[in-house]
Amino acid sequence: MRVRRFTTRRELEEHHFPWLVLIGVPLVTLLIAAYLPKLVPASALIDLPLLVVIFFSLSQRSAIGGTFMGAFVGLLQDTLSNQYIGVNGVAKTLVGFAASSVGLKVDVENSLTRALLVFGLSMAQSAMLFVLERVMLGVQEYSGRWGHEVLRAGLNTAVAIPLFFVLDRLRTDETGL
């Protein structure tokens, strides 16, 4: 007799990744983000670690997993940059939590949905960084140039779509159905 498993929508659409991918991809993107702008200054507009946090948080659909991924990537990004330790950690933690929470409610396999989420979350991170650096830390040199941030969010969105397509190929779905 066949045993029928009852699963939720979340369990059916939750994606799993090998540990090597979960740790290796963020580390590689952090190294690229730290050293590529020294060779190509225009690449500083693209936030690859943010895109990785958004992708894994949307795919795993776990608020705890998205929060930890954001904290892990953000704090490592702070150690490789010349910013205050914790600024990117806080911002990416909140982005990871928000992305995973949205991933529970919305179909995130659609490219248009992903593009809108990346743009919105990129703008949200810019707003969080502004509040953290300008308001909470009192860094007067930090100014929110919002036209620049909209351009940055657009570039992140343009890079995210092909990047997400490549990262989708790395997942292993273990639903057993």
Distance CA 137, CA 110 (A): 38
Q: Tens of pLDDT along 93-139? A: 999 999 999 988 888 888 999 999 999 999 999 999 988 888 888 77
Distance CA 160, CA 139 (A): 30
Q: Tens of pLDDT along 142-155? A: 666 888 899 999 99
Q: Tens of pLDDT along 28-87? A: 999 999 999 999 999 999 999 999 999 999 988 889 999 999 999 999 999 988 878 899
Distance CA 60, CA 156 (A): 21
Question: 88 near 62, Cβ under 8 Å?
Answer: no
Residue 27, burial from CB neighbour count under 10 angstroms (0-12, 13-18, 19+): middle
